Amino acid sequence: MYLSQKELCTMMDLVSFTLQHNTTLGSRQLLLDKLMEMFRADYGASCCWNPNEKYYQEGVFSNMSLDNISKYNDYYQFHDPITNKLRQFRRAVAVSEVISRDQLIQTEFYNDFLQRDGLSFGVNLHIYCGQEHVFDVRLWRSQQQGDFDVKHLNQLDLLLPYLRAMGEREPLKESLSFNLFTQRELEVISQIKSGMNDKNMARTMNVSVTTLRSHIRSIYKKADVHSRTELISKLAPN
């Protein structure tokens, strides 16, 4: 498969990124943004499948409305005619491979969820470590952009071993006890470590910047620090 110099540089940047990150919310948000840029996607999402409860969780989303994201989490993921089919594959798969365009546009999922934000053509890549589904990558384009082609699918497949390595990489053990923090604060800490700014962190967590900064102040107080640099240093492994 031929890659232009720009495509090759972008691919190498993505490989380098995967070698330095795991699958925390913040890392997956940054990964999603990079993949969207590479594949000229207008929208993106990444979720983790919970096989026991049978639902997707820990989702990160790009360019989708908060109201639509909430509806997906509460309702549409349970009335989704495509993603569970796509999850059966261990390669990049276009939505058009599992459902025809004519069939898709007749579904509630398309008309009341996808189309509300303009999602029209999609591709999924589900990452497994052994038999365990670790996380997924979902890229979507608007109708004006048109569908993804075979080259895009092949490029995503080239990244699969590196994305799998991300899933296998355990988070570093922290010198601060996790028991100090609430679950929400742990999510904020994960994103602080990834280098994400306040605006993007708030978007990822579906909260206002004001609420986010309230969480950060609480974290600083519990950790007895006054800056992100101090916090990250204190979280460094022993």
pLDDT in tens, 104-114: 999 999 999 99
What's the CA dihedral at 123, 192, 12, 134 to 10 degrees?
Answer: -40
The tally of domains found in the chain comes to 2
Buried b / exposed e along 65-81 (16+ C-beta atoms within 10 A): eeebbeebbeebbeebe
81 & 138 share domain: yes
Residues 116-126, mean pLDDT to the nearest whole number: 97
159 & 206 share domain: no
pLDDT value for 173: 44
pLDDT value for 1: 73
14 & 59 share domain: yes
pLDDT category at 155 given cuts 50, 70, 90 is very high
Name the nearest CA neighbour of 25 among 46, 3, 6.
Answer: 46
**Does residue 133 lie within any of the structural domains?**
yes
Residue 62, number of CB atoms within 10 A of its CB? 20
CATH number at residue 204: 1.10.10.10
164 & 182 share domain: no
Statement: residue 156 has pLDDT above 50: yes
Please identify, among 129, 145, 168, the residue that sits at the C-terminal boundary of a domain: 168
CATH number at residue 71: 3.30.450.80
Q: Is the pTM value of this prediction over 0.85?
A: no
Across 12-21, 92-101, 164-173, 210-219, the highest mean pLDDT is recorded for 92-101
Residues 155-183, mean pLDDT to the nearest whole number: 76
161 & 202 share domain: no
86 & 140 share domain: yes
**Does residue 75 lie within any of the structural domains?**
yes
134 & 26 share domain: yes
92 & 188 share domain: no
Tokens of 199: 């605006």
Average pLDDT of the chain to the nearest whole number? 88
71 & 182 share domain: no
**Does residue 173 lie within any of the structural domains?**
no
**Does residue 73 lie within any of the structural domains?**
yes
pLDDT category at 40 given cuts 50, 70, 90 is very high
Distance, CA of 115 to CA of 169 (rounded, Å): 36
100 & 142 share domain: yes
For 226, the domain range is 178-235
Please identify, among 168, 189, 217, the residue that sits at the C-terminal boundary of a domain: 168
pLDDT category at 226 given cuts 50, 70, 90 is confident
pLDDT value for 6: 86
**Does residue 193 lie within any of the structural domains?**
yes
Please identify, among 127, 142, 168, the residue that sits at the C-terminal boundary of a domain: 168
Statement: residue 193 has pLDDT above 50: yes
pLDDT value for 177: 58
Residues 55-77, mean pLDDT to the nearest whole number: 90
